């Protein structure tokens, strides 16, 4: 008797499944097809991204390796700018650094434009982004006023970034060059009292306080 009931129940379950599949056949096929398409699209996207990364790497390395042999740097500069505009988290910052190191562009607004492109790259590792902000501040420290320089560094100053003590020291040096010794001393003391200050930067701050502010 129990076996018969079990057989009947299993038969009923199979019938329910057949009925469900029959009624929802189109939706089930659509759902399976959509999942397959999404999986394939993901793998295609990853493959294209990988190939583009390889092409960009080859392009950047070719520029760097052949740079010394070029009589004109104009074409290299254009190609490096194109790499920056690709917003690649690895090669866009490297292209900008190469332009800066070799002084390929001197116009301030242009350089700041490319810094902003690099800083806006998403996703970009947080401390790499902060490093680019810090480098932008260094570049601008020769011609920007204190308000603009502080504004550039604000995202780092309001964080616990590993570049915070570097930024404080940059501002301390800037204010000292502007004869604002009170603000410079305040920033140097902040470096010393900041628990996560870079050890080398803290040592430099202590040396500067002893050398330039001892009474």
Angle at 57 between CA 51 and CA 58, to 5 degrees: 90
First-last CA distance in the chain:
105
Q: Is the pLDDT of residue 210 over 80?
A: yes
Question: How far apart (Å, rounded) are the C-alpha atoms in residues 214 and 95?
Answer: 43
- Is the pTM higher than 0.85? no
Please tell me the predicted confidence (pLDDT) of residue 166.
Answer: 96
pLDDT of residue 187: 95
Looking at residue 161, its pLDDT comes to 94
Angle between helices 25-66 and 91-101 (to 10 degrees): 20
pLDDT 10s digits, 63-86: 988 887 766 788 889 999 999 999
Distance CA 215, CA 83 (A): 52
pLDDT one-digit tens code per residue, 128-182 = 999 999 999 999 998 888 899 999 999 999 999 999 999 999 999 999 999 999 9
């Amino acid at each position: 008797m129990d076996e018969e009931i079990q057989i009947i129940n299993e038969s009923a379950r199979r019938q329910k499944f057949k009925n469900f599949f029959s009624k929802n056949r189109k939706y089930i096929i659509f759902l399976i097809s959509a999942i397959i398409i999404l999986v394939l699209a993901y793998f295609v996207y990853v493959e294209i991204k990988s190939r583009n990364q390889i092409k960009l790497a080859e392009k950047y390395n070719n520029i760097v390796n052949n740079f010394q042999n070029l009589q004109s740097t104009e074409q290299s500069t254009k190609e490096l700018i194109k790499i920056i505009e690709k917003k690649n988290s690895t090669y866009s910052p490297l292209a900008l650094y190469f332009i800066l190191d070799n002084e390929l562009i001197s116009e301030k607004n242009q350089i700041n434009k490319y810094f902003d492109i690099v800083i806006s790259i998403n996703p970009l590792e947080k401390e790499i982004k902060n490093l680019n902000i810090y480098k932008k501040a260094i570049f601008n420290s020769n011609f920007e006023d204190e308000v603009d320089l502080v504004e550039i560094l604000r995202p780092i100053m309001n964080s616990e970034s590993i570049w915070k003590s570097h930024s404080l020291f940059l501002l301390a040096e800037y204010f000292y060059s502007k004869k604002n010794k009170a603000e410079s001393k305040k920033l140097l003391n902040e470096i010393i009292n900041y628990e996560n200050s870079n050890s080398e930067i803290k040592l430099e701050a202590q040396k500067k306080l002893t050398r330039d502010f001892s009474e």
